[in-house]
Amino acid sequence: MLPGYEAQRAEEMQWAFSTKKQKDYDTVLVDGDILLSHSIKEPSVAEISKEIRSDKASYGKGHEFATTMWEVARDLRFTRSFDGSSLILGWVMAFCLGKITTTNPSGSVYRHQMTFFDPDIAGTATLPVTTVVEKVSAGIKRKLASLAIGSATISGEGFEHLNAVCEMIGSGVHAVSTMNMPDIPSLSFLTSNFATIKFGDAAEDISTRVRSWSVAFNNNPKEDRGYFPGSGLYRGRLEIGSRTALPSLVADLTATDDVLADFLINTAVALEIMCEGATIGGAYKHYLKIIFPDLYMRAVALEENDGVFTYGITCDEESVIYNPVRAKPLVEVIVQNTVESYMVAAT
């Protein structure tokens, strides 16, 4: 008989995260700060890769083969896809955008207002980082350090849960973990059929016409600048590049082509996406709100979709406008939930 083995089922993987950020790029969170877990949509695990060099291309050996190899750098990254609870939406957006203001309007209700951080005010261009623990199997449990969110996309369609996808990039540092994995807490999920979407020069409600929507945030991090004299094998920082926030919508055409008219005369429009969930208490609910004060539509594709004409409305980095005179951010994301804080620096 051939020797057997125990297959490691993907359903049994777990991961744990923290609302706290590391106090600096190199200082890993302690287990006592990593208290949360959340379901994920795909069983992806962290990819650890090595950059290697060898003497294969060297001459004088008398042959063309490599005789030695050495590691020069290490990288770690993964993508996580979530059903959008108010907990995880706040976490993804806080670490992606980097600036957060939290208020407590009532009891256990917390409101988190998030925007792209200003490097001049923050005194750094380095993205906030955190630590997670990933359990792939009983024998593979590892702590992954100095993880930043390089990009994230929030989207909604039909009656489905909102979808949150984020790409995380680490320093490459990882270690075996013996931490007990936390249970998944009670979660409040947000669904697209409870969203209100306002769009246009008068911010009119077009919710009943919208088929799907998404907002893609990208920090375009300068990955290679993380390696420098003194950084050693692992990345020593991860700085922002040219950041973007790009919305898109698919909406049904109406008898009056208001969207197309705004596009043709190059009218600046506003976009507000508001998605409410369960009641926290009194008049307060879990919610996500995304606000773009000034947009110009880059393209409006008119096409047939299931026997109905629809618009495919897109913007690019040159048509999402920052207007400093209005003292408003390029984009603002607000999440209301029962989480007391995000991105408080660990001690």
pTM higher than 0.85 for the full model?
Answer: yes
pLDDT band (50, 70, 90) for residue 326: low
pLDDT computed for residue 6 by the predictor: 75
Q: Is residue 60 assigned to a domain?
A: no
The most confident of the ranges 2-6, 20-24, 250-254, 265-269 is: 20-24
pLDDT top residue among 341 and 268: 341
Q: Is residue 52 assigned to a domain?
A: no
Which one, of 184, 240, 151, 173, lies nearest residue 17 by Cα? 184
Q: Are 53 and 65 in contact (CB under 8 A)?
A: no
Q: Is residue 270 assigned to a domain?
A: yes
For residue 3, give the amino acid letter: P
pLDDT computed for residue 1 by the predictor: 59
Phi/psi at 10 (nearest 5 deg)? -65, -30
pLDDT computed for residue 267 by the predictor: 79
Region 252-281: mean pLDDT is 83
- What is the distance, to the nearest Å, from the Cα of residue 159 to the centroid of all Cα atoms in its chain? 22
Q: Is residue 160 assigned to a domain?
A: yes
pLDDT top residue among 102 and 206: 102
Q: What 3-state DSSP class applies to 38?
A: coil
Q: Is residue 74's pLDDT more than 90?
A: yes
Rounded Cα distance, 18 and 35, in Å: 6
pLDDT computed for residue 309 by the predictor: 83
Count of structural domains within the chain? 1
Q: Are 50 and 66 in contact (CB under 8 A)?
A: no
Average pLDDT for the chain: 92
pLDDT computed for residue 297 by the predictor: 84
pLDDT top residue among 335 and 43: 335
pLDDT computed for residue 129 by the predictor: 98
Q: Are strands 332-337 and 69-83 parallel, antiparallel or unpaired?
A: unpaired
Q: Is residue 187's pLDDT more than 70?
A: yes
The domain containing residue 279 runs over which residues?
10-45+73-337
pLDDT computed for residue 264 by the predictor: 74
Kindly state the helix (H) or strand (E) to which residue 258 belongs, with its residue range.
helix 258-264
Q: Is residue 347 assigned to a domain?
A: no
Q: Is residue 257's pLDDT more than 70?
A: no
Neighbours of 157 (CB within 10 A): 16
Quick: pLDDT tens for 270-319: 999 999 999 999 999 999 999 999 998 887 777 877 777 888 888 999 98
Q: Is residue 3 assigned to a domain?
A: no
Q: Is residue 342 assigned to a domain?
A: no
Question: In sequence order, what are the residues at sequence separation of 6 or more whose Cβ sits closer than 8 angstroms to the Cβ of residue 81?
Answer: 40, 41, 42, 44, 163, 164, 165
Lowest-confidence segment of 102-106, 191-195, 319-323, 342-346 by average pLDDT: 319-323
Quick: pLDDT tens for 14-37: 999 999 999 999 999 999 999 999
pLDDT band (50, 70, 90) for residue 42: confident
pLDDT computed for residue 209 by the predictor: 87
Q: Is residue 66's pLDDT more than 80?
A: yes
Q: Is residue 37 assigned to a domain?
A: yes
Quick: pLDDT tens for 150-174: 999 999 999 999 999 999 999 999 9
Q: Is residue 200's pLDDT more than 90?
A: no
